[in-house]
């Protein structure tokens, strides 16, 4: 026979469905029957009587709220003439909410929904699909509404999140970026959102502490041409984007150490230390048309990075990332991370073969392991020619 503890568990599990019914304006949720085994164990008369007694003691009949028991009289040879439950139900919303101790939570939820519906009607579908998120957001709702209203009234403000004139603490937006993104994507007009950006600040036009890109000018003549006093430096992303770079090639390397060991190359710029962040280079416009090369680790992650970079810059060729290099230096390889991802889309046949070998044998040949002379001699002294060769291989989906 069901006991009060199981009734409470079933009642708590109904809460999300109850909130959905309330949002729909469905008044038929109550009375609500709780499915239950209502037959006591006739083999143990004392236990059966105790079970019925415990069930009654936890009911509305005794405590004044909660579940109601509808009784029926049964005349049993083993249990005699006694009353046993025929139906267990919550008659009203008040009985139900008090029983699961959700009166305040429900009041907070309904108030939050009312505010959101009044302020941002466009969020109606989101509210219905995310009832539990509304519950979680309720304590911070006033601040969240202030933030969304500010972005609605001042699209792409070009200021740091912490300096926006909004009555919330300076870290509020950072703490709630996930929820704010869902709301802003629905509330803001399309021109206020960079739909191709996952980065919160770039997506909604905020300033932020930009990543520093490590750069080497591999041709000394570029220093004078670009009016720079150094051949090695770091610059914020958008500052780098504004450099007047023309008629050059670029070599992107995964590791900073390898950036520092790149040899001199005619009219070539080296960029390094970006790892999986290489795709931020899409914000550097002068890279879009120039010949490019990528040199990373020979492992599944390295080929994933190469593919991601090539998706942004289709002209990218690879350096020392083929099966011949892996075979030659396999004695320097270590174990990979054991991942078995699908073959990245933007790989050439040779790169795909090396990727499959790394995946199947769980290999990782780090680029720092390759002797510098060999690495240097293999870099694209004529990147334009290598780019043409790469494109001729038909790099792309297979």
Percent of the chain with pLDDT over 70: 89
Residues 226/343, Cβ–Cβ less than 8 Å: no
Which residue is associated with the tokens 């309720």? 138
Model confidence pLDDT, tens digit, residues 330-363: 999 999 999 999 999 999 999 999 999 999 999 9
Average pLDDT over residues 37-63: 79
Number of other residues whose CB lies within 10 A of the CB of residue 331:
7
For residue 396, the model assigns a pLDDT of 44
Closest to 320 in 3D by CA, of 376, 264, 256:
376
For residue 373, the model assigns a pLDDT of 59
Model confidence pLDDT, tens digit, residues 366-393: 998 887 656 655 655 444 444 444 444 5
pLDDT at residue 395 is higher than 60: no
For residue 40, the model assigns a pLDDT of 62
Give the C-alpha separation, 76 to 52, whole Å. Answer: 15
Residue 2: band (very low, low, confident or very high) from pLDDT cuts 50, 70, 90: confident
Model confidence pLDDT, tens digit, residues 241-253: 999 999 999 999 9
Residue 84: band (very low, low, confident or very high) from pLDDT cuts 50, 70, 90: confident
Please give the order of strands across the beta sheet that includes 68-76.
32-33, 80-90, 68-76
Phi, psi of 380 (to 5 degrees): -75, 90
Which residue is associated with the tokens 């008629």? 247
For residue 248, the model assigns a pLDDT of 94
Model confidence pLDDT, tens digit, residues 265-312: 999 999 998 888 898 999 999 999 899 999 999 999 999 999 999 999
CATH hierarchy code of domain 212-392:
3.40.1360
Compute CA 105 distance to the chain's CA centroid, rounded to the nearest angstrom.
28
Element (H, E) at 340: none
For residue 45, the model assigns a pLDDT of 63
Q: Is the dihedral of CA 263, 265, 271, 276 positive or negative?
A: negative
For residue 381, the model assigns a pLDDT of 47
For residue 276, the model assigns a pLDDT of 86
CB under 8 A, 24+ apart: contacts of 172-175: 172/140, 172/143, 172/147, 173/147
Residues 117/145, Cβ–Cβ less than 8 Å: no
Residues 334/381, Cβ–Cβ less than 8 Å: no
Closest to 321 in 3D by CA, of 275, 273, 357:
357
Any residues with CB less than 8 A from the CB of 346 and at least 6 apart, and which?
306, 307, 308, 310, 311, 314, 395, 396
Retrieve residue 101's tokens. Answer: 């101790």
Residue 88: band (very low, low, confident or very high) from pLDDT cuts 50, 70, 90: very high
The burial of 169, by beta-carbon neighbours within 10 Å (0-12 exposed, 13-18 middle, 19 or more buried), is given as exposed
Average pLDDT over residues 164-184: 97
Q: What is the pTM of this model?
A: 0.69
pLDDT at residue 128 is higher than 80: yes
For residue 239, the model assigns a pLDDT of 92
Model confidence pLDDT, tens digit, residues 257-267: 889 989 899 99
Residue 48: band (very low, low, confident or very high) from pLDDT cuts 50, 70, 90: confident
Element (H, E) at 267: none
Mean pLDDT, the chain, integer: 89
In order of 79, 253, 267, the CA distances from 57 in angstroms are: 20, 72, 87
User: Where along the chain do the CATH 3.40.1360 domains lie?
Assistant: 212-392
Peptide bond into 31 cis (omega under 30): yes
């Amino acid at each position: 026979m069901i006991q009060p503890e199981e009734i409470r568990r079933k009642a708590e599990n109904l809460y999300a469905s109850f909130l959905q019914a309330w949002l729909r304006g469905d008044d038929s949720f109550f009375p609500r029957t709780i499915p239950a085994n209502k037959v006591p164990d006739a083999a143990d008369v004392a236990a059966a009587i105790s079970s019925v007694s415990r069930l009654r003691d936890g009911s509305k009949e005794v405590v004044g709220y909660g579940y109601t028991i509808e009784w029926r009289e049964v005349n049993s040879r083993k249990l005699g003439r006694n009353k046993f439950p025929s139906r267990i139900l919550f008659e009203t919303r008040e009985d139900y909410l008090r029983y699961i101790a959700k009166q305040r939570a429900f009041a907070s939820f309904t108030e939050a929904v009312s505010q959101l519906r009044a302020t941002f009607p466009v969020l109606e579908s989101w509210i219905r699909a995310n009832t539990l998120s509304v519950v979680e957001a309720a304590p911070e709702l006033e601040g969240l509404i202030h933030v969304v209203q500010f972005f609605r009234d001042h699209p792409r403000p070009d200021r740091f999140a912490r300096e926006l004139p909004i009555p919330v603490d300076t870290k509020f937006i950072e703490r709630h970026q996930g929820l704010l993104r869902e709301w802003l994507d629905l509330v803001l007009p399309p021109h206020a959102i960079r739909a191709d950006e996952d980065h919160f600040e770039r997506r909604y036009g905020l300033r932020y502490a930009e990543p520093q890109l490590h750069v080497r000018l591999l041709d000394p003549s570029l220093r004078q041409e670009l009016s720079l006093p150094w051949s090695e430096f770091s610059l914020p992303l958008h500052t780098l984007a504004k450099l007047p770079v023309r008629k050059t090639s670029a070599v992107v390397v995964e590791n900073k150490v390898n950036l520092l060991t790149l040899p001199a190359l005619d009219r070539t710029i080296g960029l390094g230390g970006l790892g999986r962040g290489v795709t931020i280079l899409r914000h550097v416009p002068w890279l879009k048309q120039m010949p490019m090369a990528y040199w990373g680790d020979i492992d599944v992650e390295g080929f994933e990075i190469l593919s991601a970079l090539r998706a942004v810059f289709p002209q990218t060729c690879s350096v020392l990332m083929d099966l011949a290099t892996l075979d030659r230096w396999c004695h320097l390889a270590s174990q990979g991370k054991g991942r078995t991802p699908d073959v990245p889309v933007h790989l050439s046949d040779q790169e795909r073969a090396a990727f499959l070998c790394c995946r199947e044998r769980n290999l990782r040949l780090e680029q720092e392991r390759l002797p510098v002379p060999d690495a240097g001699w293999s870099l694209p002294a004529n990147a334009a020619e290598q780019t043409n060769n790469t494109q001729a291989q038909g790099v792309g989906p297979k």
